[in-house]
Structure 1
Amino acid sequence: MATNKFDLASDVEFIKTPPQPPSAFEAQDCGVPTTDSPAIHNAPLPAEGPGSESFSNIVLGVFIVGVPWFLARLIGGGFKTKIFFGLITLFPILIAYWTYMSSFGPRINDKARFPGRPIDSYVTFKDPEDQAKWKGRNKVPIQTFSELYVDGKADIKGDALDILEYRHDWSTFSFTWDLFKFILFTFGPDVIFHTKEQDMEQIRPNYDNGNDHYSYFLGPRMIYTSGIISDTTREETLEELQDNKMAIVCEKLQLKEGETMLDIGCGWGTLAKFASVNYGAKVTGITIAETGAAWATDALRKAGVPEEQSRILCMDYRDAPKQKYNKISQLEMGEHVGVRKLTGFFRQCYDMLEDDGAMYVQLSGLRQAWQYEDFIWGLYLNKYIFRGADASTPLWNYVRSLESAGFEVKSVDTVGVHYSATIWRWYRNWVGNGDTVKAKYGQRWYRIWELFLAWSVIASRQGSATCFQILVVKNLNAVHRIDGVSSQFGLSGALAKAKAAGKALLK
């Protein structure tokens, strides 16, 4: 394996995605419906945890206001004393309330039946104190387990994805002090500032780990975004899923030969190559990662795409060339922009788009009706995988930002289950390359990504996280909406299915 940090496709050996190993646990009726599609990893225990339905902001507000009022009254203080106590009790109250509710809040529903196996059927702890604390039916907080597992202080009995599928049986989603420390002293400051220097410091090292690192799970297409399922009755390859997605991007954009296209956050340039070769577009790709830019440029030239047609630039999105493009794409790049700066980023895109152009936005999202597990998974991801990425939100916030920037939303597709199918294949590639990864990066690094990928298969399948495909145009009177009707595939696809079934006419 090449060790040059600018390793190219010719330096990397890709494996065929291995099959998922069989479950170590006997299948049983869990009390709720399950699925059996070969396109995804089907949940054997699709249970719900505690979450927003039992969390009361009113009760929390009463504590935040009532406790300092009571303390001030107790000592005979006035308004300034109440403010003082309010400031010093705010975070302790928040921490206490979130900890209590995440530990003792009721499940959103209790229809799912847990197997009831002891924790040591799933997990073993190496420290005698940990082993004594969590045994039998004593469940471990999943955030605590994740830290112990990453540090080599806990092991799993079998396949990580298989074990996590039964996490409701052996873990809790209680918030821990370590979690709060990360929120207060790392995640919070990252959200507030998001400077260009901060993004360079946090993002570039992540993507410049080495192209081989990402090849261990992304496969030959080297695309770090969700693919798309086209057939739920068979297991499409990872490459098929990604080709499906790239074709959809180009068709939604109505990309034509000779048109200029800006791909922001282009990664390893595969979409730029796809659009250049299959659609004859003139693509400018932008990435912050030097290794990705080198790979992408090499791939374009080897595909016979001249530099006069398409190019890859290594730069921050804020430094993108100030020119007009017919089409703009950004696939899961907005998460690194930051929630506070998202509208400004979209406005920058607006200014670079021709008035009759279109922009394709693919963004990771979170559900509004949250469960505590959603937050714990998201913070694990932020701590170990996407440091500084904080813009994943429910759909309404993306729509608000896009509309505030001057865009009109033309179509939205939610593709979370497609992401689950994609990450399932990434996970199997990573496990299949396990010995190679451990030899080069060590066991800890292998486990960080093993747990992230396995957990993400579940999160995107069950709705903890999802992904939105959003097509937008400029909200101008002079935009001829009629020209975009043919790209509204949600409408045309539904009508075509009804016509094919002979159900499109009222007789």
Structure 2
Amino acid sequence: MTATLATQISIAQALTAVTPDGLPFRFTAYDGSAAGPEDSPIHMHLATERGLSYVLTAPGDLGMVRAYVQGDLEIEGMHPGNPYELMRTMLNHLHFKRPTPAEALRIVRGLGWSHLKPPPPPPQEHLPKWRRTFEGLRHSRTRDKAAIHHHYDVSNRFYELILGPSMTYTCAVYPSHEASLEQAQHEKYDLVARKLDLQPGQRLLDVGCGWGGMVRHAAREYGVRALGVTLSAAQAEWAAQAIKREGLEHLAEVRFLDYRDVDERDFDAISSIGLTEHIGIRNYPSYFGFLLDRLKPGGRLLNHSITRPDNRLRSTGAFIDRYIFPDGELTGSGRIITEAQDAGFEVRHEENLREHYALTLGAWSENLQAHWDEAVAEVGYPTAKIWGLYLAACRVGFERNNTQLHQVLAVKLDDQANAHFPLRPTWGS
């Protein structure tokens, strides 16, 4: 290296400087530098200066995702619809160290100050939290509606390709490792129904009902009069068509409606499957209070939601917040149970289905890979790549116990403190 270039460093040198344990995959860059095992089946290539600027101006997962979505970061040796092995390798075997201020200065100076000018983010990226104020305060009705639209109104056909015939975008319950995704989703809905002890003629409210899977299952299998509500217009339209197709109009209904606008009361049961993650932890008291008010004495609530392994409030991460679930918040099952109890519910049962969500996500990834060409034609290559990355990363998160899935069963006592509950559970495994 000449004296005039003495301060310059290669991109590979910069990367290895912050990965003291080395790279578990092959890395190359447009400047000709390389690092990591040459025989690795996974090869990551930083193809452009714009990609380097993305990584330097948004350290962590956000910068790498931006470069990947824009095509500046290329990955070989995996299918973009199912990059599970890459995510597993990175999350389990890639360890970064935080550089000292002097080290960071040396790296940036060596790579060039010009790379600190952030390029425009990909068009698929949602606004950062501080710029979402035009949509209202966090978890206001207007902003919640915008967040749900960003995620769920992508394309019903795209969701059909990933989710399969059940159109169920929540954790399935696998009766065995050999069960199909459809069998596992049926078992999930049936487990919820059994925990709620649904009986013919009863009334069920399903908040955050998605494409109406629980509503249709309860009506079809249990003869229950079921009402579902969702903030996604696309979901409500699809659900209405499915209800009509199955001849369930006399029992089932799905409304495009905020759950807080449900006027009916005295429901025998309420199911909330995948809604709690969206409402905001500070809104738990009003959320559980509203649901308690809508139940008749002896009525049951089944709350099914993604959780953390502890009860601290933590962000979902920049990638998830900007590209997948804007304003999503997660905490532990202990916080959820506490808030339900403080609202007046008596909690009778809870269980963790963490491993089941890892299996569910694996099945969704396989569906995306199998229908890749049609998925790309439906939503475009960048969005399809985002979903491949998201599903694979979440799968590893559940496998590593970074996230969990809890079902909490609670009851509204009557005036005599009677829970109308059997001495022992009746729903089986």
TM range (shorter): 0.7 to 0.9
1:243 to 182, 186, 195: 186
Q: Give the TM-score normalised by structure 1.
A: 0.66
Do 1:173 and 1:376's aligned partners in 2 also have CA atoms closer than 8 Å?
Answer: no
- AA matched with 1:213: F
Partner of 1:381: 320
CA shift in 2, pair 1:488/1:394, >3 Å:
farther
1:328 to 262, 270, 273: 270
State the alpha-carbon separation in 2 of the partners of residues 479 and 344 from structure 1. 22
Query: Is the partner of 1:172 in helix, strand or coil?
Result: coil
Do 1:365 and 1:393's aligned partners in 2 also have CA atoms closer than 8 Å?
Answer: yes
Partner of 1:276: 219
CA shift in 2, pair 1:387/1:477, >3 Å:
same
TM-superposition CA deviations, 1:246-271 (whole Å, max 9, x none): 11000001111111000111111111
- AA matched with 1:415: L
Do 2:301 and 2:409's aligned partners in 1 also have CA atoms closer than 8 Å?
Answer: yes
1:156 to 58, 67, 75: 75
CA shift in 2, pair 1:188/1:404, >3 Å:
farther
Is residue 388 of structure 2 the alignment partner of residue 450 of structure 1? yes
State the alpha-carbon separation in 2 of the partners of residues 173 and 197 from structure 1. 40
Do 2:278 and 2:328's aligned partners in 1 also have CA atoms closer than 8 Å?
Answer: yes
Partner of 1:110: none
Do 1:272 and 1:310's aligned partners in 2 also have CA atoms closer than 8 Å?
Answer: yes
CA shift in 2, pair 1:129/1:249, >3 Å:
closer
Is residue 260 of structure 2 the alignment partner of residue 295 of structure 1? no
CA shift in 2, pair 1:174/1:310, >3 Å:
farther
2:96 to 159, 165, 172: 172
State the alpha-carbon separation in 1 of the partners of residues 380 and 18 from structure 2. 38
CA shift in 2, pair 1:369/1:483, >3 Å:
closer
Shift of 1:171: 5.8
Do 2:205 and 2:228's aligned partners in 1 also have CA atoms closer than 8 Å?
Answer: yes
1:468 to 398, 401, 406: 406
Partner of 1:19: none
Shift of 1:282: 0.7
State the alpha-carbon separation in 2 of the partners of residues 365 and 247 from structure 1. 22
Partner of 1:52: none
2:63 to 144, 149, 154: 144
CA shift in 2, pair 1:301/1:166, >3 Å:
same
Partner of 2:252: 310
CA shift in 2, pair 1:365/1:191, >3 Å:
farther
Partner of 1:405: 343
Do 1:362 and 1:467's aligned partners in 2 also have CA atoms closer than 8 Å?
Answer: yes
- AA matched with 1:164: M
* 1:193-272 alignment, distance < 5 Å: 193-232=138-177, 234=178, 236-272=179-215
TM-superposition CA deviations, 1:216-254 (whole Å, max 9, x none): 21110001100012113x3x2110110110110000011
State the alpha-carbon separation in 2 of the partners of residues 163 and 364 from structure 1. 23
Shift of 1:116: 4.7
Partner of 1:51: none
Do 1:141 and 1:172's aligned partners in 2 also have CA atoms closer than 8 Å?
Answer: no
CA shift in 2, pair 1:450/1:270, >3 Å:
same
Shift of 1:384: 0.7
Is residue 71 of structure 2 the alignment partner of residue 125 of structure 1? no
Shift of 1:412: 0.6
Cα RMSD of the aligned pairs, angstroms, is 3.4
1:426 to 354, 364, 370: 364
TM-superposition CA deviations, 1:399-432 (whole Å, max 9, x none): 1211111111111111111011001111111122
Percent pairwise identity: 24
Shift of 1:144: 2.9
Gaps of 5+ in 2: 1-16, 29-39, 105-115
Do 1:254 and 1:487's aligned partners in 2 also have CA atoms closer than 8 Å?
Answer: no
Q: Give the TM-score normalised by structure 2.
A: 0.77
1:338 to 270, 280, 294: 280
State the alpha-carbon separation in 1 of the partners of residues 249 and 206 from structure 2. 17
Partner of 1:22: none
Query: Is the partner of 2:416 in helix, strand or coil?
Result: coil
- AA matched with 2:324: I
State the alpha-carbon separation in 2 of the partners of residues 129 and 193 from structure 1. 32
Do 1:262 and 1:285's aligned partners in 2 also have CA atoms closer than 8 Å?
Answer: yes
Shift of 1:147: 2.2
Do 1:141 and 1:171's aligned partners in 2 also have CA atoms closer than 8 Å?
Answer: no
- AA matched with 2:267: Y
Shift of 1:454: 0.7
* 1:347-362 alignment, distance < 5 Å: 347-362=289-304
State the alpha-carbon separation in 1 of the partners of residues 293 and 52 from structure 2. 59
CA shift in 2, pair 1:426/1:289, >3 Å:
same
Shift of 1:204: 2.5
Shift of 1:289: 1.4
Q: Judging by fraction of residues, say which structure has more helix.
A: 1
Shift of 1:162: 1.1
Gaps of 5+ in 1: 1-102, 107-112, 135-139, 494-507
Do 1:191 and 1:338's aligned partners in 2 also have CA atoms closer than 8 Å?
Answer: no
State the alpha-carbon separation in 2 of the partners of residues 376 and 342 from structure 1. 17
Shift of 1:208: 2.1
In the alignment of these two chains, the number of paired residues is 370
- AA matched with 2:345: F
State the alpha-carbon separation in 2 of the partners of residues 161 and 188 from structure 1. 35
